Structures are given as structure tokens and as C-alpha cells.
Amino acid sequence: MDFRKQKLSIAEAKEMDMVKYLSLLGHDPSKIKGNDYWYRSPLRQEKTPSFKINRKLNRWYDHGLGKGGNIIDFGIDYYGCSVGEFLNKLNGGFSFQEPLKNIPKIKNEPEHQLKILKDVELSSYALIHYLEQRKIPVEIATQYCREVHYELNTKSYYGIGFKNDFGGFEIRNPYFKASSSPKDITTVKNGSDEVTVFEGFMDFLSFKSIRENEVNNTPDFVILNSLSLFEKARPFLESHKSIKLYLDNDAAGQKVAREALSHSKKYNDHSKLYQNYKDLNDWLAHIGKQQQKRLGNKL
């Protein structure tokens, strides 16, 4: 028997309809414009769809990550595996007529299935390279982050871990965004009467990176880790004289900012600084060093 004929080739895999494939993974388009199918990214958590498949070309592009390609490129990022491993997943029962049973929907699994195995000093080349791509100096990241090794669906992974006040972790790597239980805000207390608020820890690290040489007038910080925790953070926030908001430039972030401004005159929305970008880190990743130094005093 010629087993080579039974194994899916790279060329054959590339011909698979990506829209149908994502549907089998449980991801349906949020909107369709001509040949462009827009999704909330399967590769990370987001509320505004920025992941696109051009069905005519059968190619994808994630605007948040700034990368794209064919179905194999997607599979490698989605599962964090090799080309051969992804082809084996497709060989293991992939069908456009029957539900896909052999590929777990990692992104949508309940939080309790993620188990922290250990946290160590941040040293992985892949994670440091990811931080460098996001313009975060490793010297800043190692002050606030750990390298977290965790288990999900019986498989082991690792990522950048940012601890919250209850001991849970926000976890990021180039392919995955998750949280371990318990979920909570993160506070950094410097005894200041001013507090600066971020939605996620990458924005906090971006702020610290831009102002890394500043020693005096350091504010307190609150990293919400989820907009849903804003109300929980309010008592601590409003115990300060001044509250600076650096929330995401999406509908959800701006809605919370408007609500905050209606609560008290202490709140100040600083998102206009990065008004043409998704968030503070996206802005930092795209501006030049000279512009960064020039605009840093506006933070």
C-alpha cells in the first residue's frame, strides 16, 4: 500500500477553504465585505474584528499582529506547532462535511482548564524577541513579569506572565492570550496622589518604557486586566486626586472612558495621544525612537 497517497500534502492543505475551516473551529465572520471576511482574531482576544480572510485569494491577515499567510501559516500560529504537526492534525479526521473533533478550540476553553506549572525569571529567547517586537525593553519587562509555564488541554506551553493582586496571571505569547484564576486587577502603589490606568499590562509596560529614565513624580498604577473590573477598581482610583486613563481605542474602551468622565472630574482621558492606533503599545510599536522621546513628556 502506498501510504504517501493517504497523507495530505502541503499543496493540498493550501487549497482548503479557510472560511470553512475557521467555521469548523467555531469562528464565524463578524462581517463580510465582498471577498473579505472579517473576524475577531482566533489568535488573540479582541472585541473589534481585525482578522481578515480574502476568500478569493484564500489568505488571511491579522491587522493586530501585522502578519498573515495561508492556512498552514495560520495553523502554525494557532497551535504553536510545526508544519508537519499541523498536517497531522488535518490528517486526523479533517472534513468539511463533519465536525472537527481532533482539534481543540484552545482560545475558547474555560479558564479552569489552564493550570500554572511554574513561574521563573523571564529568559526565553522567543518571549524576549516578542517583547522587542512590541518595543518593550527586557529590562522593563523583567521588573514586572515572569516566564510562566502552564498546562492547557493536557499540553504544556509558556508565556509572559503578569501577576494580579490575587495571585493569578495574565499570560501572553505571540500566539496566545489567556488568564489564570483568580482574575483581578493589578495595582502598583508608589504613595502618589495621582493614578494612571491601563486596560492591559502591555500598555503599562509601554508607559514604563517611554518614561524609563524618570525617577521623580512616579504615579500609582492600576492595570485592569479586563474592562469588566473597572467598577471594582473605582474605590482605589477615586481615592486619588487625579486619574489618567489610557484605555484602548475601541468601542468598549471608549465607552468605559466616557462613563468614568461622567462619574468625576478627577478622570482625564489621554487616549487622544494614540488616537490613530489600537492602544498605547500599538502606538509605541509604530513610532520612531526620536518621536518617542519627544512625545514621552506628554504621557
Residue boundaries of the structural domains of the chain: 3-104, 109-179, 186-298
- 3-104 and 186-298 have identical folds: no
C-alpha cell at 207: 508607559
Strands 114-120 and 145-152: antiparallel
pLDDT at 106 over 60: no
Is this prediction's pTM over 0.85? no
- Percent above pLDDT 70 for the chain: 84
The region of weakest confidence among 40-44, 59-63, 103-107 is 103-107
The strand ranges marked E within the chain are: 31-33, 36-39, 51-54, 59-62, 67-69, 114-120, 145-152, 155-163, 169-173, 176-179, 186-188, 194-198, 220-223, 242-246, 267-269
Q: How far is 196 from 246, CA to CA, in rounded Å?
A: 7
Fold of the CATH domain 3-104 = DNA Primase; Chain A (3.90.580)
Distance, in Å, from the CA atom of 281 to the CA atom of 299, rounded to the nearest integer, reads 13
Which residues neighbour 203 within 8 Å (Cβ) at sequence distance 6 or greater? 223, 246, 248, 279, 280, 281
Q: Give me the residues paired with residue 223 across strands.
A: 186, 198
**Phi-psi sector, 252: left (phi>0), alpha (psi -120 to 50), beta:** alpha
Q: What CA–CA distance (Å, rounded) separates 51 from 53? A: 7
Note the pLDDT of residue 101: 31
Domain 186-298 has CATH 3.40.190.10: no
- β-pairing, 67-69 with 114-120? unpaired
CA–CA separation, 86 and 94 (whole Å): 11
Per-chain mean pLDDT for the chain: 83
Instruction: Quickly state the pLDDT bin for 161 (edges 50, 70, 90).
Output: very high
Arithmetic mean of pLDDT, 52-59: 93
Q: How confident is the model at residue 155 (pLDDT cuts 50, 70, 90)?
A: confident
Residues in the chain: 299
Q: Name the amino acid, one letter, at 114.
A: L
Q: Return the pLDDT at 165.
A: 96
Span 188-245, pLDDT tens digits = 999 999 999 999 999 999 999 988 666 667 899 999 999 999 999 999 999 999 999 9
How crowded is the C-beta side of 16, counted as CA atoms within 13 Å?
25
Contact by Cβ (8 Å): 40, 47: yes
| pLDDT value, residue 166 | 95
